Amino acid sequence: MSDDSRSVARLAGTVIILVSVALVAGRIALVTRLLEPALLRKSTDPGFTPPWPSARPEPTPFLSSNDKSRWATVRSLTEEGTFVVARRDPGMVRATALLPLFQTTWHGALASAGTGHRLRLAADKGFLFEEEAWRTVDRVLDPASLEYYSSKPPLLPVLAAGLVKPLDALFGWKPSTHPFEVARLVLLIINLLPWCLYLVVFRSLLDKLPVGEGARLIVLAVAGMGTLVHPFLIVFNNHTPGTFAVLFSMACLARVWLAPAGRPAGASWHLLAGLCAGFAVTCELPALSFAGLAGIALFLKSPRGALAGFAPGVAAPVLALAACNIAALGRLRPAYAEFGGPWYLYEGSSWYDPGRLKRGIDWARLNLGESVPAYAFHLTLGHHGLFSLTPFFLLAAPGAWLAHHERRQDPGRGFLALLAHMAWILTAVLLAFYLVKSDNYGGNSCGARWLQWLTPLLLVSALPAVDRLLASRPGRWVVMALLAISVMSATAGSGNPWRRPWLYDAMKWFGWPGYE
């Protein structure tokens, strides 16, 4: 490639990064929750979907129960110095527990039980119940202390609270009084800045791999504008930092793997690879499989570096999460590990369903009886499909096949094959895990969100296939079509990631009944 062509390619890559970052910056600058009439029923109509509010709701930059739950912990930590986000009145619980026993008829006992139920719920105290803009269903109740906590792991909220506390000291901004200022500024720091670094590091990683400039630019464009990482950049969530951490760990692996002969990478790269992999585990527990495979690969390349650098690096964030769990709950076991038990199944909980009457995507398999094969289809190629919503990922399979067969040609191709093998092992493991452990596609969101951290691995795995397809006119059309549909999916969810995918709506338009 000539110097002029290389300069044009570098300029194009820089433009892709700048546009991708600017698009997210604009969305964060105006992030606010909007209600969609098409997704809500009239308050007078029967149904299971939420009703249209009868009064103007309070404006809020928090877009769903999921991110409200994390922000609630941040508010409690910064304003009250506690992880507790609300409390149930133990006196009211004791006073109403025996009401039915004083009735002489079944009707009276049932009426008293209903009255007690309403009184107990009305006595719940805390901003989580008293301020509409902060209400969230993602909460757990400690059955011993009757204190409410966020159901989300505490490490990320602790880190965010460390950013929010100085805002109060400098400007008097608190989450309770200045939610828009606090949320938007923190999102710029925890999402936008790492997003810019993510794309810069991604381009640096692509430059180390033996493919043409065209393939690099296409994959960089998909990374910046065509994956479901994009919609989640305007909310406080665990999937975004988990995805960033996986990519950063991959880049550190490249430093170690592709170091020139006689000049091995320093111990700091092993340590940084471990820190990023460990942080990914704290964001996405199944990313432990990524940390394991990365650790094995590093051990085969540099046993000393893997044991002295990578392993301690992985341990450090995991220990930090454990310390936060102990600080929050007084124990090592996280709140979300109690799913299905009394911490989740309490009076007033969204998950408490004694009559099995609830509908919606959260109950797709439990109440609506969706079969495992149907769930597997929709998780891969259906309305929440990993490959149907981001069809560019379909190139990862032929790309991995090409990388495998070219792995012995040079170190760069060998490393590319390693990442491709990791991508498909982890994709298979993750899909199998969630077929067994999940039943709701990650709830009401623009895709199966807990598969998001596979994004950089699948994109890199697609590189050889993209490179091969760009050599012919029909191949270029295939690549462009897959890119366009992937960008469309990412853009469709850009206003609010906590919205069902466009493919879900399209299927309903064609007669599929949905889950409502």
Q: What are the domain boundaries of the chain?
A: 3-31+177-350+359-509
Q: Of all helices (H) and strands (E), which one includes residue 398?
A: helix 396-405
Single-letter amino acid code for the residue at 6: R
DSSP 8-state class, residue 51: B
| Encoded tokens for 444 | 């009401």
Tell me the per-residue pLDDT of 251-299, one tens digit each, with 9 for 90 and over. 999 999 998 877 777 789 999 999 999 999 999 999 999 999 999 999 9
Residue 117 buriedness (CB in 10 A; 0-12 / 13-18 / 19+): middle
Cα 461 from Cα 253, distance rounded (Å):
15
Residue 371 buriedness (CB in 10 A; 0-12 / 13-18 / 19+): exposed
Q: Of all helices (H) and strands (E), which one includes residue 506?
A: helix 502-509
Single-letter amino acid code for the residue at 354: P
pTM reported for the whole predicted model: 0.93
Tell me the per-residue pLDDT of 300-348, one tens digit each, with 9 for 90 and over. 888 888 999 999 999 999 999 999 999 999 999 988 888 888 899 888 8
Q: Of all helices (H) and strands (E), which one includes residue 277?
A: helix 267-283
3-state helix/strand/coil string of 169-235: HHHCCCCCCCHHHHHHHHHHHHHHHHHHHHHHHHHHHHHCCCCCHHHHHHHHHHHHHCCCCCHHHHC
Edge-to-edge strand list for the sheet holding 86-87: 86-87, 147-150, 139-141
Range 372-406 burial, b when 16+ CB lie within 10 A, else e: eeebeebbbbbbbbbbbbbbbbbbbbbbbebbbeb
Cβ contact 87:124 at 8 Å: yes
pLDDT in tens, the chain (516 residues): 566 678 888 999 999 999 999 999 999 999 999 888 877 888 777 766 778 888 888 899 999 999 999 999 999 999 999 999 999 988 887 777 665 555 556 555 555 556 767 788 788 899 999 998 999 999 999 999 999 999 999 999 999 999 999 999 999 999 999 999 999 999 999 999 999 999 999 999 999 999 999 999 999 999 999 999 999 999 999 999 999 999 999 999 999 999 887 777 778 999 999 999 999 999 999 999 999 999 999 998 888 889 999 999 999 999 999 999 999 999 999 888 888 888 998 888 887 766 556 677 776 766 667 888 999 999 999 999 999 999 999 999 999 999 999 888 888 899 999 999 999 999 999 999 999 888 888 888 999 999 999 999 999 999 999 999 999 999 999 999 999 999 999 999 988 999 999 999 999 999 888 887
Q: CA angle, corner 18, sides to 32 and 213, nearest 5?
A: 135
Range 74-89 burial, b when 16+ CB lie within 10 A, else e: bbbbbbeeebbbbbbb
Closest residue by Cα to residue 514 from 366, 356, 376, 368: 368
Helix (H, G, I), strand (E, B) or coil at 264: coil
Tokens 């390693």 belong to: 418
Cα 434 from Cα 365, distance rounded (Å):
13
Strands 86-87, 147-150: parallel, antiparallel or unpaired by DSSP?
A: antiparallel
Cβ contact 175:75 at 8 Å: yes
Q: Which residues, in sequence order, are CB contacts of 48 under 8 Å at separation 6+?
A: 358, 359, 360, 516
